[in-house]
Each structure stands twice: as C-alpha cells, then as structure tokens.
A and B are shown apart, each in its own frame.
Chain A
Amino acid sequence: MSSWLDYTINGLIVGNVYALVAVGLALIFGVSRLINFAQGSIYLVGAYIGWVAVVQLHTPLPLTIIVVALAAALVGLIIERFGLRPLQNSVRIAPLLATIGISFVLDQLVMLTFSPNPRALPSQLPDVRFQIGGGTIGPLDLLIAGVGLTSALLLFAFLRYSKLGWAVRATAQDRDAAMQMGVDVNRVNQAVFGIAAALGGVSGLLVGMYYNQIDTAMSLQATLKGVVAEVVGGAGNVPGAVIGSLLLGLVESYGVAVFGTSYRNLFAFLLLVVVLVLRPNGLFASARQAPPEPLTGTFIAPSRPVRIPRWALLVVLGVFAILPLLPVSLYVLQTLINAWLLGMLALSLTLVAGTIGQVSLGHAALLAIGAYTSALLSLNFSVPVGLAIIGGGLTSAALGTALISPSFRLRGHYVSIATLAIGEIVSLVILNWEGVTRGPIGVSGIPPLSLFGYELISPTSIYWFSFAVMVVLALLQARLLGSHLGRSFRAIRDDDVAARAYGLSLNRYKSLAFIFGGFAAGISGGIAAHLYSYINHETFNTQQSILALTVVILGGLGNVVGAVVGSVALVGLPEVFRIAAEYRILIYGIVLLLLVRFRPQGLLGTI
C-alpha cells in the first residue's frame, strides 16, 4: 500500500500531463471559441512519433522531445490550414464536426500504420526512485514536472512579451476588434494551433514513457481528460486549465486510491458533469458574466430540404419490403439488416442533433442501455423478447433522458462534451456494476428474436422485422416533425433565447426530444442484443456514435428520409466496394470532413 504522498505526487504528475493537453485546448478555445476534439489525436501522434524516434532511431531524450514537438506542431498547422481555416465563415456546427472528423482520420491513420496493438515506449531514463518523506519520486516524474513548468513559463513569456503573443491575447479578448486593429487572425490561429499541438504531442510522449505503453485508444481518453480539465478551469482560461488539470489529476489519483483502478475514468467524468451543472463557466470564471451576444440561427447550415415525391418514397419502400422475395443473396439481406438497425440509431440522433440541435457524441450509450435492458429482462425475468425490446426502448428513453438532463442548460460544444462524458460513464458503469451487468464477462446466451412466440431465425424474417420496426419509427418521427413539437424543437435549435422568450421551456422540449430519440435508439440496441446473442461493455462504442453522426450529416440534419438513406449508404457502399473493415472508420471520417466542407446541409438537406 503506497502512502498518500505517493498518490499526491502521482496525481500532480498526471495532472501536469493533462495540463499540457488542456492548455492547448484553452488557447484554441480562447482565440476561436472552438473545442478541438482532435487534440487527443495529436497527443496520440506525438506518442507514436516518440516511439519511432526512441525505438527505431535511438534518439537521445532531449532530441526526442524536440522532434516530437516539431512534428506534432506540423500536424497542428496542417489541421488549422486545411481542416479549419476553410470553415471560418461557416455555421458554428461546422468546425465542431470538422475536428471530430479530423480526430477519427488521424486515429485511424495511426492505427493503420502501427496496428492497434499496444507498444512499449521506454523512458530512456535511469530506473531509480528517490525517497522524499514518506513517498518516492523518479527521474521521469521530475522530467514531467520540469517539462510542465518549462512550457508554462515559455508560454507565459510568449503571451506576455512577444508581439504575436499580444496578438493572441487580443484576439482571444475580441476577435473583431483585433482584426480591425490589423491583427492577422490567421497567423494567430496558426501560432495557437502550432503551440497547442506541440504541447499535446509532448504530452503523449511523456504519458507513453510514464506507463511504458502506448496504444491507439489513448486518443479519445486524452481528449476527454484535456477537455474535462479545461472546462473545470473555465473554457479559454489558460491558468485555469493548469489548475483544472492538477485538480483532475489529484481527484483521479485519490479516487483510484480509495475505489480501485477500474473506476479511474469515472471520477474525471463525474467531475466534469458536476462542474458543468454547478458552474458551467468553470471554477474560476466570475459567476455572472455579460449575457452572450445574440446569435441568429447560425448553428446549422440553412437549406431547403430536397422534396421527394410521395409516390417515389412508396415505390422505394415497396421494393425494400419485397426484397427478400426477389433473388438476392443472404449477404445483401444481412447488410441491409445492419443498415436498418443503424437507421433506427440515426433517426434518434437526427432528432436530437439535427432537429433540436444537441449534437450528441455518446449516442451509443442509448443503444447499450436498450440492449442490456432487453437482454437482462428476457434472461433474468423471462420476459417475451418482443416486450423486452420495448422495455429496452422505454428504459433507454427514461434513463438516457435523465442522464443527459444536466446538460440541458448547456450550449453547442458543451453539449457534445457532456454527452461524450455521459457515454463513457454508461460504459464504465456497465463494466463495473457486475451484480447486474455481469461486468467485463458480458451477457451471453441472449434468446433470439421472437414475436408472439414464433422465433425469428431466418434472415428473411429478421429482415422484415427490423425493416418494419424502422419504418414505423420513421413514420412516427415524421409525424412528430409535422406537429407543433417539430416546430418547437427546431425553434429551440435555431435560437434558444428567442424560443424561451416565447414560452418554450428548454428542459421540457429537450426532454421530449431525448425521450422520443432514446426510445428509437433503445429499440435498435434491444434488437441488436437478440441478434448478436452476446453483448459486453464494448459492443456499443464511440465508433458507433461517430458513424451515426456521419450518417446524420450525410442525410441532412433532422431529415428522417436522410437518416435512412445515409444508413443504407454508409453500411452498403463499403460492402459494394469491398472496403476492408479497418479502412471503414477512416472513410467515415473523411466523408464527414468532406461533407462539412462541401455540402454541410447533407444529401437531402436540413429540416
């Protein structure tokens, strides 16, 4: 049993590492009001460049750090120049989606280059521990502390004394005024992305050395931790980000000391949710700030939906309905079953992200809740499968809405962070609540789909079942959009301040949107559980959330037909072109980026 001092030192060291990520996020948020979801990917890239330098090129440690910093900075500059600068004048949702897409592309590129297997990243430092009081400290701890302090000092000097640093601070304070005074905002952005990326890359290197292990899952964790630290400190507040990081490191370290390692991430996300609820502007922001300037309906791209004649829809529907009767292969049917399941998830997300403007990045959690509920109801209580699936939908609607409700007061990017965190919390609870969810072993032997006592085993019957359920959900959603709730949801998305001034309660309508959307996602998860017959905490992961988001953007935000078309396209086209599974996520990421850049309203237009 290590002493408390050890846990404190560990917490501060880890906090130092988080600070390197969080400071970059804070700088970027300061000048461009953007939470850079690709920050963790740069951290990942830094770790792997470090691995190449250390293991293959045998560079000495100081050179390794410099190489990593420069290479990561280059990646940052490329992201800024080609990923974000073209989106400067577009709607607010565009850069948010772009950084998500960039993050997936970078992660996949690293994974394809280096394989997803973990690698050892030796620290190049002597393995000795110095005794301090009741605890010990090693050279690597000192190095991390040193790098943290040095970067903080350099950054402070840069912001305080250099001309470009002044420009950064001026831009952060008032972008328009800075531009009018002749500040080259593009150069400021470049500088900030370069610095943020260099810090992020070095952070990845140090973490890799600290644990002597790197793998591709580091990216998402780093983004989440960095964002948590940054938001805790107050978005855009650089010193706040450092303090938030140290706090997060300590909370985690003490939490692990008391409850054990498997809960490590839970503390970070609980801290985030608590801060977002109690002090959405961060711990160090003054409690009451000037109300934000009015922003007039520019969250999503204005567009007119493509009108599809009713007869055309009916014909297509009819063709898909009789498809199993035609001479098609089982493979086609199976692919389409996947498309219909994804379609239900996309319907849910297009309502939540598109219609009411809450871009959820943790939507797979709703699948997981539905799947576990349905599986456990049928296994433990012998509930008939059909009813169990409906139970899954209802539980997902209720639980999902309850979990997300703390974020109803948040806007834009914060909603995405909160949903991402809540998604992680759900998956961690599933992993750790062994009494109910069977923990890491997962749930096996889930009974197959059945309806009124008849088992649906043949692909044809499963096809019809999933198709019918999806069509019913789509029709219900279309009917919802045509009601007063449809316009109320869209009004809240376009301008929540004006919506409130006309009597629309945000809590009420966001809840209703999540209830309806949660039901569809829960049904999808429930059906999936009975199809797969085995599920665990990783069955429904962030990749699915991102896939669903890409589908929704592809089809057009809020567009019911678009969600279904997008699902068929993103599930079907990779099959048609026989793209290997490992390249698919990369392609989804690229599709997302291209859409945001060239057709932000999607194929069928925003509704």
Chain B
Amino acid sequence: MAIAQAAPLLSVRGLTRRFGGLTAVDAIDLDLAKGELVSIIGPNGAGKTTLFNLVTGLDRPDAGNVSFEGQDVTGLSPETLAAEGIARTFQLGRVFGNLSVMDNVLIGAHTRLRAVKPAVPLIGPLLELGLALLRPANVKAEEERLREEVKVILSRFGERLLPRIEQPAYSLSYANRRRVEIARALALKPRLLLLDEPTAGMNPTETAEMQALVAELKAEGLTILLIEHKLEMVMRLSDRVIVMDEGKKIAEGAGEQVRTDPKVIEAYLGHGLSGAADQRESAA
C-alpha cells in the first residue's frame, strides 16, 4: 500500500481537547492522503468522536491545528468546513426526523446550491429568500437536477431507501436511518468523508452491505476517515489503522501490524479484542 508523501489532504498536528481535568484528545497527529482510507479504533471513551468533532468544526481544540488541502482550517465553523467538502456521519445517527428521506439527502447537497444562493455579500440572504419564492427557471432546474442526483445516490442502497423516499426519517428502521445519513453525506460530494461507526447496531447482513458500500466508495477514490469497532471490517478496508486510547495515539500502521502490537492488546485487555466491543456498542 503506497502512502502518498505529497501534500496530504488532511493533516492534523498536536490536536488537543480538554474537558475539565480530562484530556479527551491528547496531542494527536494524523495525515490522510487523497484516496486513502484510514480507520481509527480504540476502546469506548478513547476520544475518537471528539477527534471527529474537532476536525469537522463542531468543537474547537485547545491546542494543535488541522489543515485541509494545505490550508489551516483549525477552529473554522462546521458550515465553512462543509462548504470546503468535509462531510461526516454521526455516531448516534442524526437524521432530520420530520424530513422525508428525499429532503434529508437534499440537505446534504445544500453546500452545492448555486442558482438559488448567489454569492453576493450583504444582500445575499435576501436574494436567496426572493429566489426561493420566485423560483426562476434556473433555480427550478437546479432543484430538479439535485432531486435526480438524490435518487441515484439512494439507488446505491438497492431497494432499502428508494421505496421510502417520501417517508419521514423518524419512521425508518435504525439501519435505514444510518443509510440516510451516509446518503446525505454523499450528496455533499465530499472530498473527505468521516464515518463515525457506520455499522453500529447493524446485524451481520446489514454490516456486510455497509462494508461493501464503503469499499465501493474507496474504489471510487473517496478519501475516508472511519471510526469502527468491528475489527474485521477495519482490517479489510483500511490502508492504515490508528489506535487511540485515553485520548492518545498508541499505535499506527497496517492492520495486521497494529493488531499484534502489545500496546494495543493491552488497551483492549479484559474486553477481548473485538467481540466485547461490538456487544457493548450494540447495547449502547
């Protein structure tokens, strides 16, 4: 597996976040090359999701920096980072419950609206309001195009979502909500996709489907940062694996290499390497 040494897509240096006395993320370094899939594993509470929050702007670091495509993006708002092409899914599944599947995924495409969101300073928002009410031909065409795109994205999930396209998300099964989340992330046409436990709470069939989908996305060249407890999936998909424990990076490297690392085994000790973590996850 060749790791591009040229300017990485995402580069994290010394990223630190403290909550009171607890250092949730402790001086993490991380590089992600274009097209690479890196997994972050570690026991619950290791700081994986906090790291995601820091990279996507939902939380601000106490120290360290994040750069994306060579630009320093530390502490930028999540809106700005979304517009830069960073999309994520959430650990507990945050779909918009009262919105239909179609609308949920269309929100994913929000940063790509152009016709209805002219980039005019100051009066931009008012123009947006006016265009939303008037809906000239180019606005209608844009909306139509995005709706078609959404259908294409949803067809990646076979018949799971397409028949339910007009149903509100709260009525979907848990697994389907996770799929809607991923569809919403794909609608952003991300340059970097962060997946936070995409298979949490899924049964083996559903997990296999999700694994196939992530493999497909990787094959299409998408750069992916993955948090996952199911180690078999991690080993199959990842170019590299990073292990976190108590906020620190304790190991990094190819899957097999990490798996036999004594520090990693110690971190998981008493939990079993993969089984117990899975069970705890599905209980949560």
Contact = CB atoms under 8 A, between A and B. Distances in A.
B128 A485 contact: yes
Contacts of B274: none
Given A480-B132, A491-B96, A302 B168 contact: yes
B164 interface: no
A302 B88 contact: no
A607 B56 CA distance: 30
A280 to B, nearest CB: 16
B129 A499 contact: no
Interface string B94-126: 111111000110111011010010000000011
A153 B104 CA distance: 52
A397 B24 CA distance: 44
A52 interface: no
Given A291-B59, A504-B107, A296 B133 contact: no
A558 to B, nearest CB: 9
A485 B129 contact: yes
A296 B103 contact: no
Interface string A493-528: 111011111111100100110011000000000000
A294 interface: yes
A294 B106 contact: no
Interface in A467-496: 476, 479-480, 483-485, 487-488, 490-491, 493-495
A508 B121 CA distance: 12
A427 interface: no
B49 to A, nearest CB: 10
B184 A480 contact: no
Interface string A297-315: 1101011100000000000
A396 interface: no
A580 B180 CA distance: 52
Contact of A500 (B78, B106, B133): B78
A490 B100 CA distance: 11
A500 B19 CA distance: 22
**Size category, A interface:** 35 or more
Contacts of A515: 126, 129
Contact of A503 (B20, B103, B111, B135): B111
Max chain B C-beta neighbours (<10 A), residue from A303, A504, A606: A504
Contacts of A505: 77, 79
Given A480-B132, A512-B125, A297 B78 contact: no
Contacts of A302: 97-98, 168, 170-171
Interface in B25-70: 53, 56, 58-59
A602 to B, nearest CB: 13
A504 B103 CA distance: 14
Nearest to B53: A291
Contacts of A488: 107, 110
A286 interface: yes
**Interface size bucket, B side?**
35 or more
Given A302-B170, A487-B106, A502-B110, A294 B19 contact: no
A219 to B, nearest CB: 34
A286 B111 CA distance: 34
27 contacts: A291-B58, A291-B59, A294-B94, A296-B92, A296-B97, A297-B95, A297-B96, A297-B98, A302-B168, A480-B133, A484-B132, A488-B107, A490-B99, A491-B107, A494-B99, A495-B95, A495-B97, A497-B58, A498-B96, A500-B78, A501-B78, A501-B82, A502-B110, A503-B79, A503-B111, A515-B126, A606-B98
A512 B93 contact: no
Given A291-B59, A294-B90, A487-B103, A504 B116 contact: no
B237 interface: no
Contacts of B90: 294, 498, 501
A601 to B, nearest CB: 10
B99 A491 contact: yes
Contacts of B171: 302
A494 B133 contact: no
B18 to A, nearest CB: 9
B20 A286 contact: yes
Given A485-B129, A497-B58, A501-B78, 10 more contacts: A297-B169, A480-B133, A484-B116, A484-B132, A487-B103, A490-B98, A499-B96, A503-B111, A503-B188, A512-B125
A290 interface: yes
Contacts of B79: 500, 503-505
B133 A483 contact: yes
B83 interface: yes
B143 interface: yes
A297 B168 CA distance: 12
Contacts of B93: 296
Nearest to A477: B133
A484 B110 contact: yes
A563 B93 CA distance: 32
A516 B129 contact: yes
Nearest to A606: B98
Nearest to A499: B107
B96 A494 contact: yes
A321 B82 CA distance: 48
A337 B97 CA distance: 37
A289 B17 CA distance: 11
A550 B193 CA distance: 43
Contacts of A480: 129, 132-133
A511 B124 CA distance: 12
Interface in B123-144: 125-126, 128-129, 132-133, 135, 143
A502 B94 contact: no
Contacts of A508: 125
B92 A500 contact: no
Interface string B177-193: 00000001000100000
Which residue, of A495, A498, A516, A606, has the highest number of chain B Cβ atoms within 10 A? A498
Contacts of B188: 502-503
A498 B94 contact: yes
Contact of A298 (B59, B91, B97, B133): B97
Contact of A483 (B82, B108, B135): B135
